[in-house]
Amino acid sequence: MKHRYYPILLLYFFQVACMPEEDLPIRHTGETPEYFIECYCQPGRPFALSATSVLPVSEDLQIDFSKEMKVTIHADKAISLIHTLYTLPGSEFIYNYGSPEKFEVRYIDSLFLDITTIDNKSITASTSIPPAVSIYNCQVAGNEAIIRFYISEKADENYYIYTAEAVHADSILNKEVCYLDYSEFQQEGLTEKSVILPDIGQAEEIIFTLKRITKANYDYQVSLNAANTANQSSITTPVPLKGNLQGALGIFTCYTEDKQTVPL
């Protein structure tokens, strides 16, 4: 990879890696330089990962995708990720490590991440693989977008992200995101969630997306949202990110997804 590309990547940092519902924070809480890693694995899609070094909260943000690391994801076999500019099909998010090999769930219930940095630092993490998730039905009533789906009897399978988008001519008019924690429920059952989309009357269609995520990812997304809110306000105390990486900030996780579109 040529160094002349990296300044351009600074312009895209807020579109890199993170789940589409969130922006990346512009600071972190460490006192020494650390690495920031994000990797969201979805069955049936290729592997992609974003890795960069960042400076502590007291210094200006500097992002460097140029440092080459050894990145391996262990599924039913070891999969090496290549250091390159990478995008997933149907996504505009930019990653700097990827593999064309798709994530297939074969007799495994976990994934493991192993990174060796250029300074020989070890970064590791593991994640469970959530079961498939399905939207039971969805509907539009007035300016409400209503989704129904079955929750699990298992607490660790009851974390979700629900997204509703009002779309017109391929442009998103409104987008609402809900982080759902149903871990307190002890039995399987049908539930529903609704959000308000103010411009629903001008939309051509509503896109409903439901993700089943891990508890680690849920905690991370909530802390990420809190960190972004703190960065945009007068609060000066940094908000810690609740990731699951050993040796770095960020998240290594897996999710399943279902999507439906309701034409208007």
Q: How many domains does the chain have?
A: 2
Are residue 16 and residue 88 in the same domain, yes or no?
yes
Q: Per the domain annotation, does 69 fall within a domain? A: yes
Are residue 121 and residue 140 in the same domain, yes or no?
no
According to the model, what pLDDT value does residue 132 have?
96
Do the Cβ atoms of 130 and 215 come closer than 8 Å?
no
Do the Cβ atoms of 238 and 27 come closer than 8 Å?
yes
According to DSSP, the residues that pair with 124 across neighbouring strands are 114, 246
Cα 197 vs. chain centroid, distance in angstroms? 23
According to the model, what pLDDT value does residue 19 have?
63
- Mind listing the pLDDT tens digit for each residue in 198-207? 989 899 999 9
Single-letter amino acid, residue 38: E
CA 221 – CA 223 distance, rounded (Å): 5
CA 33 – CA 57 distance, rounded (Å): 9
Q: Per the domain annotation, does 106 fall within a domain? A: yes
Q: Which residue has the tokens 């999969």?
A: 79
Q: Residue 122: give the domain boundaries.
A: 3-130+214-259
Percent of the chain scoring above 90 in pLDDT: 60
CA 209 – CA 20 distance, rounded (Å): 11
Q: Which two tokens stand for residue 211?
A: 């993700």
According to the model, what pLDDT value does residue 115 have?
97
Low-confidence ranges of the chain (pLDDT < 70): 1-33, 55-65, 230-239
Residue-wise burial string across 63-77, b where 16 or more C-beta atoms lie within 10 A, e elsewhere? bebbeebebebebee
Domain boundary among 171, 195, 211: 211
Q: Per the domain annotation, does 191 fall within a domain? A: yes
Percent of the chain scoring above 70 in pLDDT: 79
